[in-house]
């Protein structure tokens, strides 16, 4: 009945996956710019994002309403014109939304004219998803969660959780109360407590105020966890299968399935001549060609240069008789071309993967220097204008000293040219060496690894 709408949601999902994954706060900042956030707004979000104790990735994709681009796209889908369900495009979460895994919270705290309600929680051994609403009864046009601390029942801070899902709506005076979710991703060492204690701080007028405003109050909640609801709900498949794509080997080791997600542990062969960045179209498929895609936002956990875990929509409730890992395209660059070298004195690009990357200018001002790049992407391959996080945040100078840059602005034009500005500390002379984090060079070759 809804085949057309489902296809459009899948395409939206694919479009979101084309965005770079958030592996650090700086990478989040780049993603925000990709969605059209201005430089001064990014400075505010860097201020509000409190990552001292818990690494908080504020993923704008958590609520389709907060991005005009995605909102306009969704409005084209008749079934979803009026109400866009949170995480509707995650096939695995949709499958468990009406099961016994949902734990009802329905706890509200109202302070300073702001009412925040934690409504429901889905939790298993892989992650927790907590749905919340914010009702703004005060003067500010916009209120949002700007920092989050999570503690266990002993009051100990859970500092190693990776959290996403915080959202912002520019104007809440028109009846648009904010609705979004907190997503906490667990790792193998996570000990799930008997209850979560959340301490929230609220920021106001993110888009309109020239000041960085944080409300004085703290919104605190105690959320008990019923572990019996997800006890023994985990399946592990041992694969140890190797896919070879144009001479590059990828070892698929294990697949772990829980109700909230599917994780695939893999390893890049150390003898590979290329550095692999990302899979373009990797998916889990079944005998009927149904597809489970990588999870938005928290796409992968990179353990080191050769070992990583990819996260997908959950296949836990799938009735499939056969399941496979499939793909046809991988972004990868020769290992001897992964370092981009810039001569600061002559403003020349000395080494780059190919001629798609251009150094436009280097402008020194006060105690900083701004480096401007442009990157030509292929509109035939990427009609939706994918934005690439090109470099690791750390770079080295001519003496081998490690430094960090700030990503200050960027975007992709209609002609497929991506522009980027990076700011580095002043006083650095001679050469700098940037390490590629991603790049639009691809190797092609179909692979199909059997799960069951």
User: What tokens were used for 259?
Assistant: 């109700």
Q: What is the pTM of this model?
A: 0.75
The CATH number of the domain where 288 resides is what? Answer: 2.60.40.1640
Q: How confident is the model at residue 46 (pLDDT cuts 50, 70, 90)?
A: very low
Say whether both 188 and 314 belong to one domain: no
Please tell me whether residues 59 and 70 are part of one structural domain.
yes
Q: Are residues 43 and 112 in the same domain?
A: yes
Best mean pLDDT range from 167-181, 317-331, 418-432: 317-331
For residues 227 and 192, is the Cβ–Cβ distance under 8 A? Answer: yes
Asked whether residue 196 falls in the same domain as residue 84, the answer is: yes
The total number of structural domains that make up the chain: 3
Q: What is the pLDDT of residue 439?
A: 93
112 or 64, higher pLDDT: 112
Query: Do 47 and 110 sit in the same domain of this protein?
Result: yes
pLDDT, one tens digit per residue, over 207-266 is 777 666 899 999 999 999 999 999 989 999 999 999 999 999 999 999 999 999 999 999
Span 335-359, pLDDT tens digits? 999 999 999 889 999 999 999 999 9
Please compute the mean of the pLDDT values over residues 286-300 and round it to a whole number. 86
Question: In whole angstroms, what separates CA 128 from the centre of its chain?
Answer: 16
| 205 and 80 in a common domain | yes
φ, ψ for residue 3, nearest 5 deg: -60, -45
Same domain? For 283 and 364 the reply is: no
Q: Most confidently modeled of 7-16, 37-46, 55-64, 217-226?
A: 217-226
Whether residues 224 and 239 share a domain: the answer is: no
45 contact partners, CB below 8 Å, separation of at least 6: 29, 32, 37, 58, 206
**Based on the domain organization, do 92 and 156 belong to the same domain?**
yes
User: How far, in Å, CA of 105 to CA of 222, rounded?
Assistant: 9
* Residue 49 sits in the same domain as residue 144: yes
* Mean pLDDT calculated for residue range 79-89: 41
- Mean pLDDT check: name the lowest of 72-81, 224-233, 323-332, 432-441: 72-81
User: Of 230, 248, 280, which closes a domain?
Assistant: 230
Q: At which residue do the structure tokens 């796209």 appear?
A: 73
- With H, G, I as helix, E, B as strand and everything else as coil, classify residue 60: helix
Token pair, residue 303, equals 């353990």
Residues 254 and 313 in one domain: yes
Domain housing 153: 3-230
What Rg, from alpha-carbon coordinates, does the chain have?
22
Q: Could you give the 3-state DSSP secondary structure of residue 59? A: coil
Asked if 259 and 205 sit in the same domain, the reply is: no
Q: Please say which residue of 230, 263, 285 terminates a domain.
A: 230
Instruction: Decide if pLDDT at 36 tops 60.
Output: no
Determine contact, residues 250/276, Cβ cutoff 8 Å.
yes
């Amino acid at each position: 009945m809804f085949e057309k709408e489902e296809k459009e949601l899948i395409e939206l999902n694919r479009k979101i996956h084309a965005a770079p994954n958030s592996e650090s706060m700086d990478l989040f900042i780049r993603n925000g710019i990709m969605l059209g956030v201005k430089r001064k707004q990014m400075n505010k979000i860097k201020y509000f994002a409190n990552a001292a104790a818990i690494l908080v990735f504020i993923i704008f994709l958590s609520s389709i309403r907060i991005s005009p681009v995605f909102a306009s796209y969704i409005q084209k889908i008749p079934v979803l014109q009026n109400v866009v369900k949170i995480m509707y495009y995650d096939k695995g979460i949709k499958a468990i939304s009406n099961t016994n895994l949902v734990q009802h919270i329905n706890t509200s705290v109202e302070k300073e004219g702001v009412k925040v309600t934690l409504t429901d929680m889905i939790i298993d051994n892989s992650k927790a998803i907590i749905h919340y609403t914010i009702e703004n009864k005060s003067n500010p046009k916009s209120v949002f969660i700007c920092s989050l601390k999570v503690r266990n029942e002993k009051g100990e801070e859970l500092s190693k959780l990776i959290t996403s899902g915080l959202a912002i709506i520019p104007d809440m005076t028109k009846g648009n109360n904010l609705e979004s979710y907190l997503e906490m991703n667990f790792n193998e060492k996570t000990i799930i407590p008997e209850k979560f204690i959340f301490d929230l701080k609220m920021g106001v007028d993110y888009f309109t105020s020239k000041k960085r405003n944080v409300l004085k109050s703290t919104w605190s909640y105690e959320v008990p966890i019923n572990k019996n609801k997800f006890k023994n709900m985990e399946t592990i498949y041992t694969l140890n299968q190797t896919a070879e794509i144009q001479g590059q080997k990828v070892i698929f080791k294990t697949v772990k399935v829980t109700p909230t997600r599917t994780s695939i542990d893999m390893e890049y062969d150390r003898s590979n001549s290329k550095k692999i960045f990302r899979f373009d179209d990797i998916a889990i498929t079944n005998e009927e060609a149904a597809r489970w895609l990588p999870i938005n936002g928290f796409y992968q956990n990179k353990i080191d240069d050769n070992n990583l875990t990819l996260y997908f929509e959950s296949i836990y409730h799938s009735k499939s008789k056969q399941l496979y890992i499939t793909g046809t395209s991988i972004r990868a660059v020769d290992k001897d071309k992964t370092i981009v070298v810039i001569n600061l004195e002559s403003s020349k690009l000395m080494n780059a993967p190919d001629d798609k990357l251009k150094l436009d200018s280097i402008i020194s001002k006060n105690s900083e220097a701004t480096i401007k790049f442009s990157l030509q992407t292929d509109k035939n391959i990427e009609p939706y204008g994918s934005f690439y996080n090109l470099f690791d945040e750390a770079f080295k100078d001519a003496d081998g000293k490690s430094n960090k840059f700030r990503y200050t602005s960027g975007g992709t034009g209609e002609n497929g040219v991506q522009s980027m500005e990076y700011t580095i500390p002043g006083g650095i002379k001679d050469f700098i060496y940037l390490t590629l984090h991603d790049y639009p060079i691809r190797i092609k070759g179909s692979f199909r690894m059997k799960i069951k």
